[in-house]
Amino acid sequence: MLKNTSHRRLPNLQKLIIRQCIVIGALTAVLVFVSLSETTSISKDIHARLGELQEELVNTQKQFNTHLAWNNLTHQISLDATNFQLEFELLTIDPDHSTERVSGFVTRLREHHETLVTLPIPASQQANFTQLKSDLWTLEGIGLELLESPSSNARLWLYRDSIEFVDAIKQNTISINAENKAMSEALKQRIDGVVEQSRSDQEKLKKLLARHELIIIVISCVSFAIILIAFVLLFRHLRQRIVLLEQYAVDIARQDYKLPPFSSKDITGRLAIRMGLMARTIRKGLLTLQKSSEEIEELAYYDSLTGLENRRMFNENVEKAALLSHRYQEKYALLYLDLDSFKDINDKFGHDAGDMILKTVAERLHENLREEDSVARLGGDEFAILSRNSSIDNTDLANRILKALRVPIIKDGHKLEITSSLGIAILGEDADNLSDLMRYADMALYKAKESGRNTYHYFSEQLESIALKKAERIQDLTSAIENDQLELFYQTQHDIVDNRITGVEALVRWPHPEEGMIFPDEFVPLAEECGLIIALGEWIINRACRDGKYLHQLADSLTVAINLSTKQFDDPALMDKLVSSCQAHGLPHDKVELEITESLLINDMEGSVKTLEAMREKGFRIALDDFGTGYSSLFYLKNLPVNSIKIDKSFTAGLPSESKDSAIVNTTILLAHTLNLSVVAEGIENEEQLAYLQLVQCDTVQGYLLGKPQPLESLVEFLEKYPKSA
């Protein structure tokens, strides 16, 4: 149970952080608000004042420009009036003088009058401008009369009248200009005052901005200091929690379980609780691991199913025995045991039955061995025994073991009979190390299986010689396949009615450079055993399709029969290889006949049927070879999608004298024809056999009487000379 902690719990870290953040935010907000409020107020006043000054400056500038325009206009009026008077005098003195310039001045006086009418006139100069407009109007009228008066007398009187008005105009313009000048001076002083005030306000604004920048810097420094202090306080809280968490971890490591010094809502509190739970889980796991390690230690050296020693422990025992044998010249025997047909029983009755058999074998081996003997299960159905005995004792032990294992085992009402094969090698005599001893015992075991099984065999140098020769043969066969050193022979198949050649069967041969011609019954089983059968089969298919295309060009009715092995038939890539090879050489699929045996159908009847149906759909012909030599032949004949069956030569050899052979052949042909299948009889070697098969209406025959297996060149010559029908 958890104990109460002696120190008070710390406040929630999350709430503490939130409170600090609120305080920091509030202080910063107050400082910023105060600064911005003051700055905003002053800035607003200054901007309002600057706006007023700017408006006043604009208005004053407008008035100044207006007065300047008045000055220019009155000056121009005075100048034009004086020039008009001069032109008038010239015109009066010299009547023949042209009136063109007088007319121009009259026009300008009229324009000045119109301009004065449109200009805004200040109230202080209203009377002067009114008199000026009246004088201009009058002077304009005098000018017009002057242009219309032809006599010098009349012009003289008009000139005298104009003097008064010209003087009045000059006097008015002088008065107006004097007043405008005074007003312009006042406006200028006013503008200078506004500009000076604007400069003063701008200086105030600059000082305010500088003050504002200083305030911002102060606020930033104060805020940074506040945040720094807050982080220092936060790290102090974190350090305090880490120290307490470390102490709590030490306590629970000592199994001193107590409540953590944190709130369960706090993140460190949740971490502490999980640490406590994890510590108890780890301790529980360590106890379980300690117990499991003891079991693993046992499993490391003993087989879990049978309780016998495993390969690891047995190898150690053999190595120890090798040291004793070398030091004290003692002899130990290694008995390598393998159950015969165990896989068939396992597949038929299931793995439970297989496990029961292995346990029973282990018990029986224990019963027939001494305590000092070692027995181990090396894997699967393989067992090994290490015994310190003489040769006579080893023979007796082997016989006892074989006899004990032959006793049937009853499983669910089934009587399971098993046998075993033994290989024996002597430590200190055949070999002095583990690797060679196991290899020699395995050679002896293989020899025992070759001898018919349910027996034992001792290792001998002859076995090693055979094994070396076998290894060399495998290497030579591998090289022959890779280097295209094999050869296909072809045996013709003949129609029994007209003796027409309908096809050929491809038969592989191995022309060995040292041993001469080797037949398939010598190297095909070796290829199946060492895994070369797939490569060998692929070579045969490719070569047969190549030669088949050539034969098809000579006689388009010929088919090429290719034998398929069990492993080759189970190859998932077989169909692709057949199709690609036919495509590569241009051979139609219906010119290829695939010969299968009943033995390759035993393990998976349903899957085999699907594979054959797929081959038939591609156009390949299927022939059931060696018919009658396997099991359940009629069952296969009923269900398999085949085109023809081949009667094995073991049934045709006794024709026609052997009545049993005749009965089997007659029945097979009748049954095949009833099922719409053609029949090929193999092994025809004399005329009597051929005549009998003609009598019972066999379809096709094959044998030495009609044609021996021959290479492609000889077959081509044979076909060219062979009559088309007989």
Tens of pLDDT, residue by residue over 509-542, are 999 988 889 999 888 988 888 889 999 999 999 9
Q: Which pLDDT belongs to residue 617?
A: 94
pLDDT digits (tens, 9 = 90+) for 147-156: 666 665 666 6
Compute the distance between CA of residue 574 and CA of residue 541 in angstroms, rounded to an integer: 10
Q: Which pLDDT belongs to residue 452?
A: 81
How sure is the predictor about 1, in pLDDT bands with cuts at 50, 70 and 90?
very low
Compute the distance between CA of residue 645 and CA of residue 626 in angstroms, rounded to an integer: 8
pLDDT digits (tens, 9 = 90+) for 297-329: 666 788 888 888 888 889 888 888 888 887 877
Residue 96 has pLDDT above 60, yes or no: no
Query: Quick one: what percent of the chain has pLDDT higher than 70?
Result: 69
Q: Which pLDDT belongs to residue 623?
A: 94
Q: Which pLDDT belongs to residue 159?
A: 61
Q: Which pLDDT belongs to residue 163?
A: 66
How sure is the predictor about 469, in pLDDT bands with cuts at 50, 70 and 90?
confident
Is the distance from CB of 702 to CB of 680 less than 8 angstroms? yes
Task: Name the average pLDDT for the chain.
Answer: 79
- Find the mean pLDDT for residues 248-276: 68
- Find the mean pLDDT for residues 196-204: 74
Is the distance from CB of 596 to CB of 624 less than 8 angstroms? yes
How sure is the predictor about 13, in pLDDT bands with cuts at 50, 70 and 90?
low
More reliable by pLDDT, 128 or 543: 543
Instruction: Quote the tokens at residue 354.
Output: 């297989």
Close Cβ partners of 82 (under 8 Å, ≥ 6 residues apart): 166, 170
Residue 412 has pLDDT above 90, yes or no: no
The answer to whether the peptide bond before residue 520 is cis (omega within 30 degrees of 0) is no
Q: Which pLDDT belongs to residue 517?
A: 92
- Phi and psi of 149, rounded to 5°? -90, 125
Q: Which pLDDT belongs to residue 130?
A: 72
Residue 645 has pLDDT above 80, yes or no: yes
Query: Quick one: what percent of the chain has pLDDT higher than 90?
Result: 23
Query: Hey, what long-range contacts does 530-538 have (CB within 8 A, 24 or more apart)?
Result: 530/474, 532/474, 532/477, 532/478, 532/481, 533/565, 533/567, 533/568, 534/567, 534/568, 534/571, 535/481, 536/477, 536/481, 536/486, 536/508, 537/564, 537/565, 537/568, 537/571, 538/577
Residue 48 has pLDDT above 90, yes or no: no
Cross-strand bridge partners of residue 627: 647
Compute the distance between CA of residue 461 and CA of residue 447 in angstroms, rounded to an integer: 13
Q: Are β-strands 678-681 and 644-647 bridged in parallel, bridged antiparallel, or unpaired?
A: parallel
- Find the mean pLDDT for residues 126-137: 68
DSSP state of 490: E
Q: Which pLDDT belongs to residue 2?
A: 44
Q: Residue 501 corresponds to which amino acid?
A: I
Residue 209 has pLDDT above 90, yes or no: no
Q: Residue 96 corresponds to which amino acid?
A: D
Q: Which pLDDT belongs to residue 491?
A: 96
Q: Which of 573, 615, 566, 580 is nearest to 594 (CA)?
A: 615
State CA 697 to chain mean position distance: 65
pLDDT digits (tens, 9 = 90+) for 340-382: 878 777 777 778 888 888 999 999 998 888 888 889 998 888 9
Pick from 487-491, 578-582, 658-662: least confident: 658-662
Q: Which pLDDT belongs to residue 50?
A: 64
Residue 98 has pLDDT above 60, yes or no: no
pTM exceeding 0.75:
no
CA angle 385, 390, 391 (to 5 degrees): 85
- Phi and psi of 5, rounded to 5°? -75, 150
How sure is the predictor about 720, in pLDDT bands with cuts at 50, 70 and 90?
confident
Pick from 409-418, 569-578, 620-629: least confident: 409-418
| Half-sphere CA count of 419, side-chain side, radius 13 A | 11
Q: Using DSSP, how many helices (H) and how many strands (E) does the chain show? A: 21, 17
Q: Which pLDDT belongs to residue 582?
A: 95
Residue 494 has pLDDT above 90, yes or no: yes
More reliable by pLDDT, 37 or 85: 37
Compute the distance between CA of residue 281 and CA of residue 39 in angstroms, rounded to an integer: 65
Residue 661 has pLDDT above 70, yes or no: yes
Highest mean pLDDT among 598-607, 631-640, 711-720: 711-720
- Phi and psi of 382, rounded to 5°? -105, 130
Q: Are β-strands 456-458 and 419-427 bridged in parallel, bridged antiparallel, or unpaired?
A: parallel
How sure is the predictor about 202, in pLDDT bands with cuts at 50, 70 and 90?
confident
Highest mean pLDDT among 25-29, 117-121, 578-582: 578-582
Q: Which pLDDT belongs to residue 636?
A: 64
- Find the mean pLDDT for residues 117-131: 66
Is the distance from CB of 619 to CB of 589 less than 8 angstroms? yes
Domains and CATH numbers, the chain: 38-199 (1.20.120.1730), 302-459 (3.30.70.270), 477-721 (3.20.20.450)
How sure is the predictor about 411, in pLDDT bands with cuts at 50, 70 and 90?
confident
Q: Which pLDDT belongs to residue 327?
A: 80
